[in-house]
Structure 1
Amino acid sequence: MLASVDGEIGPAEHARIPITDEGLLRGDGAFEGLRLYSGRPFGLDDHLARLAHTCAGLRLDLDERALAHELAQLLEAAGPVDGVLRIVLTRGGRRILFVEPLPRRPRIARVGTVRYAPNRITDGLKTISYAANDLALRLAREQGFDDALLVTPHGRVLEGATSAFFWVRDGQLFTPPIEDRILPSVTRQTLIDVAGAVEEVCTLDTLHGAEEAFLASSVREVQPLAAIDELQLKAAPGPVTLHAHAALRQAIEAELG
């Protein structure tokens, strides 16, 4: 792994920040994670726009010029790798960038539902305070599932622990609406644009009519689901899922050339 801290590039294991940084002490900061294809990031402008939105919401300073310069330097040093680019900005004023390998995930996943109440004050902000999401993932895995599906105490299905959620009914692709206080995912919006996904409120009862479902994110692209709790889906992957993934790949190829 290769990292940059305020423009100083070196092995990630040697990167250092002060222990007094409130990004470390309080989880106060912003971040983005995006996929690298032969060293080229997909959706970079959209991710940087969301980062700026998060920083504005957190009242966190963002030096866009310095970040852009350091990002270009890190990508040049990393070379034509397939991996994940992380951008982390802390309350202590650190700009942390690093390139890491793609995580290993099953091609087809089973998800367990976890009760979750969104934090209203940080709606729409991608902060580094991810303890709740990570705990949801651990709770699901303790029950033998691969990932977590976040569901409100009132039974509304929201999203995965680190991904957007899509399901299929009568051949139509759906995803929960932003108004349900889910993260405005870059990959989610791309799939709405290129695969014709429709926003619709989703409940656990809704899912009993689902034919297919999948999780989507910048890093995983599209991950088909075989089961949600005890509900076994008819197809994993099904034709709508396969079409959505193909449309996403076409969008990636069109942007990166």
Structure 2
Amino acid sequence: MMTDSVSIRVDGLEILDNAIAQLALVNYGHFTAMQIRDGRVRGLSLHLDRLQSAHAELYGTIADPALILDRVREAASDAPNSYLRVTLFESDPGNVQVMTALRPPVAPAGAPTGLLPIVYQRPAAHIKHVGGFGQLYFGRMATRQGFDDALLTTADGEISETATANIAFIEADGTLVWPSAPSLYGITWQMLDTALAEAGIRTRRQSVTLNDISGFSGALLTNSVGVVGVSRIGSVVFNDEAPVQAIADVYESSPWDII
């Protein structure tokens, strides 16, 4: 951890905040991301739980949910319609620091996504942590080859997640299958599991490999933006958008929580 003062300049301008220096130079922390609409967010308690559990694992420190919620409310009061990223870190042991970053709201992609399979697995994949060099590197590689994102796999072709989202596959009977390889249990995934169970739609988690994907009726991605269809994975093409839309419609029924 950094405890001494550090001099950092960006384009010749000195950054005096030591907390910013910590984030700039030490690749250690974690975050959650959410879409805010009219001062509301989906799965607010799940976001708070994520930050608390990740902080306890990374730092051995209790992150006060009331403090986190206060910071979220402060940010949302200035931008009731936005994309909010909440990052937790410590520049000194035991001193929980909360950084909020706002951007304009992000809408789901207007077209299904194309994915390029890449052999890469995120370290500590169950945590939404900072330091996504591999994800950014392989995501850019995918776009240079005409795809929208990278699909992360093991060397044996077992699918885990994409560089920016969870992925799930739809069977002919409508069952949703989540890959069982190590990945983040995303907030949208958690909410979708609950909503699908209430709608009587089955879900399960199992090993899915690149050799399996042609046997599914469709595939979809979930992240803070919502549910988006997959048009192709490598050379495998999914043409039927109806199964994905049915799942997306269920997710859209999920409630929004007042911040």
Instruction: Flag whether TM exceeds 0.5 (same fold).
Output: yes
Matched with 1:18 is 18
Structure 1 residue 197 displacement after superposition: 2.4
SS of match in other structure, 2:177: strand
Check if 1:95 corresponds to 2:98: yes
Contact 1:87 1:95 in 2 (8 A): yes
RMSD value, Cα:
2.1
Residue of 190, 197, 203 corresponding to 2:203 = 197
Contact 2:166 2:222 in 1 (8 A): yes
SS of match in other structure, 1:129: coil
Matched with 1:155 is 157
Q: CA 1:22–1:73 in structure 2 vs 1: closer, same or farther (change >3 Å)?
A: closer
Q: CA 1:60–1:24 in structure 2 vs 1: closer, same or farther (change >3 Å)?
A: farther
What is the CA–CA distance in structure 2 between the aligned matches of 1:132 and 1:29, rounded to whole Å?
Answer: 16
Structure number with bigger Rg: 2
Matched with 2:252 is 249
Contact 2:48 2:68 in 1 (8 A): no
Contact 1:113 1:151 in 2 (8 A): yes
Contact 1:53 1:125 in 2 (8 A): no
Matched with 2:68 is 67
What is the CA–CA distance in structure 2 between the aligned matches of 1:109 and 1:215, rounded to whole Å?
Answer: 8
What is the CA–CA distance in structure 2 between the aligned matches of 1:20 and 1:73, rounded to whole Å?
Answer: 19
Contact 2:51 2:88 in 1 (8 A): no
Q: CA 1:123–1:216 in structure 2 vs 1: closer, same or farther (change >3 Å)?
A: closer
Check if 1:112 corresponds to 2:116: yes
- Return the structure number with greater helix share: 1
Q: Which stretch of structure 1 is more off in the superposition, 97-106 or 168-177?
A: 97-106
* Letter of the structure 1 residue corresponding to residue 252 of structure 2: R
SS of match in other structure, 1:97: strand
Q: What TM-score does the superposition give when structure 2 sets the normalisation length? A: 0.82
What is the CA–CA distance in structure 2 between the aligned matches of 1:60 and 1:75, rounded to whole Å?
Answer: 28
Contact 1:156 1:201 in 2 (8 A): yes
What is the CA–CA distance in structure 1 between the aligned matches of 2:17 and 2:120, rounded to whole Å?
Answer: 32
What is the CA–CA distance in structure 1 between the aligned matches of 2:148 and 2:16, rounded to whole Å?
Answer: 32
What is the CA–CA distance in structure 2 between the aligned matches of 1:107 and 1:218, rounded to whole Å?
Answer: 17
Structure 1 residue 19 displacement after superposition: 7.1
Matched with 2:131 is 129
Equivalent positions of 1:174-253 (< 5 A) are 174-177=177-180, 180-195=181-196, 196-219=202-225, 221-235=226-240, 237-238=241-242, 240-252=243-255
* Letter of the structure 2 residue corresponding to residue 50 of structure 1: R
What is the CA–CA distance in structure 2 between the aligned matches of 1:19 and 1:70, rounded to whole Å?
Answer: 16
Contact 1:166 1:176 in 2 (8 A): yes
Q: What TM-score does the superposition give when structure 1 sets the normalisation length? A: 0.82
What is the CA–CA distance in structure 2 between the aligned matches of 1:223 and 1:229, rounded to whole Å?
Answer: 17
Count of residue correspondences: 232
What is the CA–CA distance in structure 1 between the aligned matches of 2:195 and 2:116, rounded to whole Å?
Answer: 28
What is the CA–CA distance in structure 1 between the aligned matches of 2:121 and 2:248, rounded to whole Å?
Answer: 30
Contact 2:142 2:150 in 1 (8 A): yes
Structure 1 residue 194 displacement after superposition: 1.9
SS of match in other structure, 2:128: coil
* Identity level (%): 22
What is the CA–CA distance in structure 2 between the aligned matches of 1:141 and 1:249, rounded to whole Å?
Answer: 28
* Letter of the structure 2 residue corresponding to residue 113 of structure 1: P
Q: CA 1:123–1:145 in structure 2 vs 1: closer, same or farther (change >3 Å)?
A: closer
Contact 2:114 2:233 in 1 (8 A): yes
SS of match in other structure, 1:133: helix
Q: Which stretch of structure 1 is more off in the superposition, 137-146 or 96-105?
A: 96-105
Note the residue ranges of structure 1 that are not aligned, 5 or more in a row.
1-14
Structure 1 residue 127 displacement after superposition: 1.0
Q: CA 1:60–1:33 in structure 2 vs 1: closer, same or farther (change >3 Å)?
A: farther
